[in-house]
């Protein structure tokens, strides 16, 4: 017969000991399997971009479906496609310029945002679409509830690549770089 000392529990039954063993096993598995986890995340990222989406929307390709983020039969894509023959400017903007000053934008900067957008839109109306086809067609400043931020939606010509749209956006936003706090 085995005699226990007072105040001690039998080994293996203490909840602290069981919890310590479980957390130790999880820690060992995480450290040992870290490379498998890393390779798994990389494989998942590659598969997400490379494989087509279940609805046929394309996993990571470009096209008219917003880079594969929308299904081709979605209402947003349908409206976009219907609007292109009716208007020279697409209904949905995929590019946004935000002018932000943590201390709040002064009235002259707000006016500058609105006038710069108007100048771009009027230039397109007067000159038309450039022969290269890659340009900002319209700029629409939208009101925000924040006095620190002004947002302008840019509309570029249909078929403009992401790299060219980024370049056009940087050109458009260039004049706002000279404001020290913006």
Is 69 inside any structural domain?
no
CB-CB contact of 152 with 144 (8 Å)? no
Please give the backbone phi and psi of residue 147, each rounded to the nearest 5 degrees, phi first: -75, -5
Distance CA 158, CA 133 (A): 8
Rg (CA), the chain: 28
Is 54 inside any structural domain?
no
Distance CA 12, CA 159 (A): 68
What pLDDT does residue 58 have?
Answer: 43
Is 26 inside any structural domain?
no
Is 6 inside any structural domain?
no
What pLDDT does residue 4 have?
Answer: 58
Is 96 inside any structural domain?
yes
CB-CB contact of 71 with 57 (8 Å)? yes
What pLDDT does residue 10 have?
Answer: 56
Is 103 inside any structural domain?
yes
**CATH code, domain carrying 127:** 3.30.70
CB-CB contact of 57 with 65 (8 Å)? yes
Contacts 24+ apart (CB under 8 A), 131-139: 133/157, 133/159, 133/160, 134/160, 134/161, 134/164, 134/168, 135/168, 136/168, 136/172, 137/88, 137/89, 138/89, 139/97, 139/172
What pLDDT does residue 131 have?
Answer: 60
What pLDDT does residue 65 have?
Answer: 41
Distance CA 146, CA 174 (A): 22
Is 143 inside any structural domain?
yes
Mean pLDDT by 10 residues, the chain (182 residues): 58 68 87 86 85 53 50 78 69 79 85 88 77 76 84 82 85 79 65
What pLDDT does residue 180 have?
Answer: 66
Is 21 inside any structural domain?
no
**The two structure tokens encoding residue 169:** 């956006």
Q: Which domain holds residue 160?
A: 89-178
What is the tally of structural domains in the chain?
1
What pLDDT does residue 78 have?
Answer: 80
């Amino acid at each position: 017969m085995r005699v226990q000392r007072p105040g001690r529990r039998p080994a293996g039954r203490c909840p602290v000991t069981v919890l310590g063993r479980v957390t130790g096993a999880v820690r060992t598995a995480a450290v040992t399997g870290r490379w498998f986890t890393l390779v798994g995340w990389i494989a998942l990222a590659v598969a997400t971009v490379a494989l087509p989406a279940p609805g046929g929307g394309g996993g990571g390709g470009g096209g008219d479906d917003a880079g594969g983020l929308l299904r081709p039969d979605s209402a947003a894509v349908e409206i976009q496609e219907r609007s292109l023959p009716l208007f020279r400017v697409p209904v949905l903007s995929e590019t946004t310029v935000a002018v932000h000053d943590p201390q709040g934008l002064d009235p002259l900067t707000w006016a500058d945002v609105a006038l710069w957008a108007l100048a771009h839109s009027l230039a397109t109306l007067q000159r038309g679409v450039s022969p290269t086809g890659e340009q900002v067609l319209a700029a629409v400043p939208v009101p925000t509830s924040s006095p620190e931020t002004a947002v302008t939606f840019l509309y570029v010509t249909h078929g403009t690549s992401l790299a060219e749209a980024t370049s056009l956006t940087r050109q458009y936003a260039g004049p706002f770089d000279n404001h020290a706090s913006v």
